[in-house]
Chains A and B, each alone.
Chain A
Amino acid sequence: MKKQITLTVNDKIHEILIKSNETLLDILRNHLRITSVKAACWQGDCGLCTILLEGVPIKSCLVLAYEADNKRVITVEGLSIEGSVSKLQESFINNGAVQCGFCTSAFLLMGHYLLKQGKPLERKEIEHLLNGIICRCTGYKQIIDSILAVSSISSE
C-alpha cells in the first residue's frame, strides 16, 4: 500500500510516496537523504534518530511516516543559520561536546528544544532530559556543559 504524504522539513515542503510500514526515520534518511539523522537500534532505545516534530523531540524510528503527514520536521540542518552555526552548535564545538559525532545531531536537537522552553535550566534537570539519548564517547559532561553555557548566556 502506497500513500502520498506532505512533510515540511526544515521549512521545505516535500510530497512523498510512502509505503504504509515506513517510519519517519526511513523517509528522512532514505527518501530525503538527510543523513544527519542517525540510527543505532531502530527500536527506540538509543535516541540517535531524535528530530523535532511540530517542535517537539521524538524518536523518528517510532513514528510511522503516515503519522507525520502535514507536519513540520526540524533536523540539525534546520538549526544552522545560513553559512554559519547556531549558538548551541558553536557551544558544542567550544566545550568539546563532540567526539565521534554519531550522536551529535540528536543531542543538538534535544538541547535546542530545552533552550526553547525559555526556562532557566539546572544541571540535574538537563541530565534527566538527555537520558533518552546514548553517547558512548563523551561521557555526556561536555554535552550538558554546552547546553548550560547557552542557557546562561540567554538568561543574562
Chain B
Amino acid sequence: MVNIFMTNYIGKSIPRKDAFDKVSGAAVYAFDIDNIPDMLFCKFLTSPHAHARIVSIDTSSAEKIPGVAAIATGKDWPVKIGLYAGDRDILAVEKVVWIGQPVVAVAAQTEEIAERALEAIEIEYEILPAILDPVAAKDSNEILVHEKMAEYGHSSAFNPVPGTNIANLFKLRKGNIKDGFSKADLVIENTFRMPQVAHAYLEPIVSIGHYCSDGTIEVWSSAQSPFTVRYLLGVTFAVPISNITVYTPYIGGGFGGKAGLNFEPLVVLLSRKAGNRPIKLRLTREENFRSAPIRVGMMAHIKTGVTSDGRITAEEIEYIWDSGAFADYAVNVGRAAGYVSIGPYDIDNIKSDSYTIYTNKPYATAFRGFGHMELHWVIERQRDFTANKIGMDPVVFRKSNTLKPGKSVTANQDRLREDAGSIDQCLDKVWIDLRENLSKTSPEKPWFFRGIGIAGFMKGPAQPPNSASSAYVKFSEDGGILVSVGTSEMGQGTITSLAQIAAEELGLPIEKVKIMGDRDTDRDAYTWQTVGSRSLFMDGNAVRDACKDAKGQIFEIASQVLRVPSEDLILKNELIFPKGEKWKHLSLAELVMGYMYPTGESIGGPIIGRGKYIAKMTMLDPETGAGKPTIFETFGAQGVEIKINALTGEITIKRLVSAFDIGKAINPELCKSQIIGGGVMALSIAMNEQLQYNEEGNLLNPNLVDYVISRAADIPEEFVSYLIENPQEDGPYGARGIGELTMLGVPAAIGNAIFNAISVQINDLPLSPEKVWSEIQQQRPELLASLKQKIFED
C-alpha cells in the first residue's frame, strides 16, 4: 500500500508544454496571422473629445480613395454590447464618451490606405461638459455619461441606477453598524486611492473578423475567453452561436485585458460591409493605451471600530470604482470587491457600499486581481494603521480578527469550509521570515531607512453561478491522448498542469499527453472564460472527470478480455492488469481503438472520455449581499523589506516574501513563476504605474516610456515563496487557484513598510519617488532638517 500516495506527475515541476514552441520562435499569435486569403486591414478614427454629441459624419471623400473597401459608422449596427451590462457601442452612435473612443472604421487594402482614408473623414461634434472625477460623477445628476441607462439590458446580478452615473451599486450588510461602533474604544477613518492603470500586455490587441457569405462567422483574436466572444458575437449579430467559430492562437499576455469582448464585433461588422472579406485590426501601442480597456481606478473611505485589546467591532466602507465610459465588465469588479469588502476577516458589524461609476475616461475591464488588489490596499493599510494606534504587533492584531472555519465569509451567511485553507498560516510564514532575515547591518548612509511590511488577503474566482467547464480525452492508436479544454494559454501555464492531471489519472508518460496551446471553439471542449484563477480548479476537475470516464470505458473492455471485475483492475504505465497479477496485462494500445481477439472478433471501440464541472454558488441578496459568491477562496500573505532614501523618496525592494495556501501545488515551479511574475507586476503598479490625464480627459502617457513598467534592474534582490498545502477536498488533488493572488498584497505591504521605516503614512498609489518625497516633506519636516545637517557632516 506504500504506492498509493506516490504520484508520477502531481507536485512535479515538469517543463511547460508550450515552452519549446516559444523558445524556438514557432509559437503563433493572432499578431502573426497575415495569410488569410483576400484579407483587408482596418484602422479607426477616434473621438478627440471626452464628451460630445456627433452632429454629422462625412465619409464621402474617403470612400473614393482607391483601395478603400468599406467604411463603417455607429449607425451601421447600433446595438449595445457587453458581458454583464449592455452599455457599449461598437462605434459611437449618438455621442462620444471618452477621448479615444472609435467613431469611424475603414477597411482597406493596406493599413496605409486606411490611414489616408481616415484623414479624409470629417466629423462635426457638439461638445458637452465632461465628468472625469468618479467622486463627482457619483453624485452628479446633470452630467450623465449614459442618459439612456434605463434602456440598457443587464444581468440580474447587478443594480444600475438610471438617472445617475452609477453603473452598479453592491451592498453588503451584517449585524448592526451603530451597535458595532458603540462597542469600539477607538474609531479610525481613512481615505485611500488607486489610479487607473494599463494592462500593458505585450501583444497588442489583434482581431480578424470574417463574416462569410453563407452567414457563418469566423474570428481569430487575441482573446482570453473564446467561448464568451463566440456567445456575445451571437447576441450582437443575432446569429446562431453554432454558426460562429472563434480561434485564439497563443496569447501574448492578457491579465484580464483580453477577457471580455473587445474589437471582435467591429471587424465582423466591417467584414460584412466589405463584401464578406476578412478584416484584420491590429492596434498600435498608442491605440491600445487610448482605445482598449484598462484597470478601474478606486477611491475608498473606510471607518473601523476597534476595542483596545484588538477586536474589530465594526467596519463601514464606501468603495468608488472609476470604470470610465463603459462598465460592461467592471460592474462585476465592483460587485466582487463589494462582497469581499473587508478582506480575510471576521467582523460582526459591516456596512459596505461598492459603487461602479461611469466617467468620461477610457473604460475599465477585468485585470488580474479584479478589484482585490485595490480593496486589500485599503484594508491592509487600515489594519496596520489600527494596530499601530492600539500598540499591537500587526500580525497579532490581524490574527485576532482573521476568518476561521465556520465563520461567515465577509458579511454573508456562507460559512468558511473546514478545508478552506488558512490565512493565519500564510501570515505567520511571511512575518517570521521577514523578521528572522531582517538586514542586520545599518544602512550605509543616515538618510537610508529600512522597513518591513506585510499584508494578508484572499480571493476566489468572480464568475456567474452557472459558470462551467468541460474537457474531453481522445485516444490515438498508440495509447497517447489528446486532452481538449476550453481554457486559454496566455502565459500562466495552466495547460501544462492540466496535462499533468491527465497523465496522472491515466497512468501515461507526460510525453504521450498532447494539449494544444491554441483554442478553437468548434474543436475544443467548452469553458466559460479564462479568468479569475478558476481554470486549474474548474477545468482541472473537468479533465479529471474526463479521464475517469475514459478509464471506466477502458476497464469495461479489459474486464471482458481478462475476465476480471472492472473494480479489480489497475491502469499503470500504459498497462491494464488485475491487482497483484501484473503479468496478465493488456496494453493501452491494444484496447483504446477496440480490442480484437485472436479469432478476429472485436469488442469496444475508440475511447473518448468526457468530463465536466459546474460552479456551486448562488445569486447574492441585493440588499445584504448574502449568499455564496465563490467556489473557493485562496488565502495568502506577502511582505517586503525595503530601503528608502528619505532625501529622494526612492524605494528599493530588498526581499519579497510570499505565502499562499494553494491546497496542492500541481506544478510547484509554475506556481513560483506566477508568484515572481505577479509580484513584479504588482510592484510595478504599486510604485510607478498611473494613467495620467489632462483637464480635458486626454491621456498624457500612452506609450511604454512615459507609462513606466518595471524593467529587469528594478526587481527585488530576493524572492521567497512558500506554498502551503491544506488541501481543498473538491479541488483537483486538493488544488486552489493562485495566478491572480500573486499581486494582491504587494502594494499594501510596501505602504506598511514605508510607515515602519520612516513613520510616514501614504494613502494614495502609486508610491512613486516624487510622492514619497513630498509626503516625507509634509509629515516629517524635522527628520529632513536633521538629515540635511548630517549631509554637511558626511
A96, B670: Cβ atoms closer than 8 Å:
yes
- Check: A8 CB closer than 8 A to any chain B CB: no
Neighbouring A residues of B719 by C-beta, 8 Å: 139, 141
Beyond A96-B670, A127-B712, A131-B711, whether A102 also contacts B24 by CB under 8 A is no
Which residue among A94, A104, A133 has the maximum number of chain B CB atoms within 10 Å of its CB?
A104
**Which stretch, B444-452, B486-494, B500-508, touches the partner chain A?**
B486-494
Query: Which residue from chain B places its CB closest to the CB of A95 in the assembled complex?
Result: B669
Tell me the smallest distance from the CB of B181 to a CB of chain A, in Å: 42
Chain A residues with CB under 8 A of B20: 85, 93
B773 within 8 A of A: no
A105 at the interface (CB under 8 A from B): yes
Within 8 A of A (CB), among B697-743: 703-705, 709-713, 715, 719
A interface, how many residues as a size bin? 35 or more
The smallest beta-carbon distance between A102 and chain B, in angstroms, is 3
- Give the residue of B21, B255, B713 whose beta carbon is less than 8 angstroms from that of A101: B21
**Interface segment out of the listed A38-46, A62-70, A148-156:** A38-46
Question: Which A residues are in CB contact (< 8 Å) with B255?
Answer: 136
0/1 interface trace, chain A 87-111, chain B, CB 8 Å (1 if under): 0011011101011111111001000
Is A36 part of the binding interface, using a Cβ–Cβ cutoff of 8 Å?
yes
Asked if A140 meets B712 with Cβ closer than 8 Å, knowing A80-B24, A93-B23, A105-B25, the reply is yes
Please, which residues of chain A bring their CB within 8 A of the CB of B705? Answer: 45
- The contact of B19 among A48, A98, A131, by CB within 8 Å, is A98
Selecting from B73-81, B84-92, B245-253, B535-543, the interface stretch reads: B245-253
Interface 1/0s, chain B 651-680, versus A by CB < 8 A?
Answer: 000000000000000000110110011111
Chain A contacts of B18 at CB under 8 A?
Answer: 98, 101
Whole-angstrom distance between the Cβ of B465 and the nearest chain A Cβ: 30
Q: Are A139 and B676 in contact (CB under 8 A)?
A: yes
Q: Is B771 on the interface with A (CB-CB < 8 A)?
A: no
- Once the chains bind, are A42 and B203 in contact (CB under 8 Å)? no
Q: Decide: A41 and B252 in contact? CB cutoff 8 A.
A: no
Is A136's CB under 8 angstroms from B201's CB?
Answer: yes
Residues of A within 8 A of B712 (CB): 126-128, 130-131, 133, 135, 140, 143-144
Contacting pair B491 A137 (CB below 8 A)? yes
Q: Indicate if A142 sits at the interface (CB-CB under 8 A).
A: yes
Decide if A35 is an interface residue (CB 8 Å cutoff).
yes
User: Does A136 lie within 8 Å of B23, measured CB to CB?
Assistant: no
Report B-chain residues with C-beta under 8 Å of the C-beta of A46: 202, 285, 704
Contact of A102 among B252, B284, B711 (CB under 8 A): B252
Q: Flag if A41 contacts B703 (CB, 8 Å).
A: yes
Given the complex, which residues of A lie within 8 Å of B254, measured CB to CB? 100
- Contact indicator B32/A35 (Cβ below 8 Å): yes
A76 and B704 contact, Cβ closer than 8 Å, known pairs A38-B252, A100-B253, A101-B250: no
Interface residues of B in 26-79 (CB under 8 A from A): 26-29, 31-32, 34
Residue total for B at the interface (Cβ-Cβ under 8 A): 55
Contact of B584 with A by CB under 8 A:
no
By a CB distance below 8 angstroms, the chain A residues around B676 are 138-139, 141-142
Is there a chain A Cβ closer than 8 Å to B453's Cβ?
no
Q: Judge whether A134 and B709 touch: CB under 8 Å.
A: yes
A75 interface hit (Cβ, 8 Å) = yes
Residues of A with C-beta under 8 A to B34: 30, 33
Counting chain B CB atoms within 10 Å of each CB, the highest count among A126, A136, A139, A143 belongs to A139
Query: Contact: B23 with A89, CB < 8 Å?
Result: yes
Taking CB atoms, residues of chain A closer than 8 Å to B672 are 96
- Could you say which of A80, A90, A136 contacts B202, with CB atoms under 8 Å apart? A136
Contact status of A99 and B493, CB under 8 A, knowing A38-B202, A89-B24: yes
**In the complex, what residues of A have CB within 8 A of residue B492's CB?**
99
Query: B200 on the interface (CB 8 Å rule)?
Result: yes
At the interface, yes or no: B15 with Cβ under 8 Å from chain A? Answer: yes
Question: Does B681 have its Cβ within 8 Å of any Cβ on chain A?
Answer: yes
Which of A75, A80, A140 has the largest count of B CB atoms less than 10 A from its CB? A140
List the B residue with the shortest CB-CB distance to A94: B15
User: Which residues of the partner chain A approach B252 to less than 8 Å between Cβ atoms?
Assistant: 38, 40, 100-102
- Assembly CA distance A48 to B680 (angstroms): 19
How many angstroms from the CA of A63 to the CA of B15 in the assembled complex?
36
Shortest distance between the CB of B654 and any CB in chain A (Å): 14
Q: State in angstroms the CA–CA spacing of A108 and B254 once bound together.
A: 22
Q: Which one, B26, B202, B680, contacts A103 given CB within 8 A? A: B202
With an 8 A cutoff between CB atoms, is B788 at the interface? Answer: no
Chain B residue numbers with a CB within 8 Å of A77 are 24-25
B677 interface neighbour in A93, A128, A137, Cβ under 8 Å? A137
CA A133 – CA B713 in complex, angstroms?
11
Kindly supply a per-residue 1/0 record for chain B positions 195-235, scoring 1 wherever the CB is within 8 Å of any chain A CB and 0 otherwise.
00001111110000000000000000000000000000000
Q: Which of A45, A48, A96, A133 is close to B673, meaning CB atoms less than 8 Å apart?
A: A96
> Is A127 touching B24 in the complex (CB atoms < 8 A)?
no
In the complex, A75 Cα to B719 Cα: how many Å?
32
Decide: B285 and A99 in contact? CB cutoff 8 A. Answer: no
Complex contact B253–A98 (CB within 8 A): no
Once the chains bind, are B677 and A40 in contact (CB under 8 Å)? no
Nearest A residue to B667, CB-CB:
A96
- The answer to whether B715 and A127 touch across the interface, beta carbons within 8 angstroms, is yes
A100 pairs with B251, CB closer than 8 A: yes
Cα separation A124 to B693 with both chains bound (whole Å): 35
Most chain-B Cβ atoms within 10 A of its Cβ — which of A35, A45, A89, A102?
A: A102
Q: Can you report 14 residue pairs joining A to B where beta carbons are below 8 Å apart? A: A38-B31, A45-B703, A46-B202, A46-B704, A98-B19, A98-B23, A100-B253, A100-B490, A131-B713, A136-B202, A136-B255, A139-B680, A141-B676, A141-B719
User: Residues on B close to A: CB < 8 A?
Assistant: 15-16, 18-29, 31-32, 34, 199-204, 250-255, 284-285, 490-493, 669-670, 672-673, 676-681, 703-705, 709-713, 715, 719
Interface residues of A (CB under 8 A from B): 30, 33-36, 38, 40-43, 45-46, 48, 75-77, 80, 85, 89-90, 92-94, 96, 98-105, 108, 124, 126-128, 130-131, 133-144
Closest A-B pairs by Cβ, 3 of them: A36-B25, A100-B491, A139-B680
- Other A-B pairs beyond A85-B20, A102-B202, 9, CB < 8 Å: A35-B31, A45-B703, A76-B24, A80-B24, A98-B22, A100-B251, A101-B21, A127-B713, A140-B710
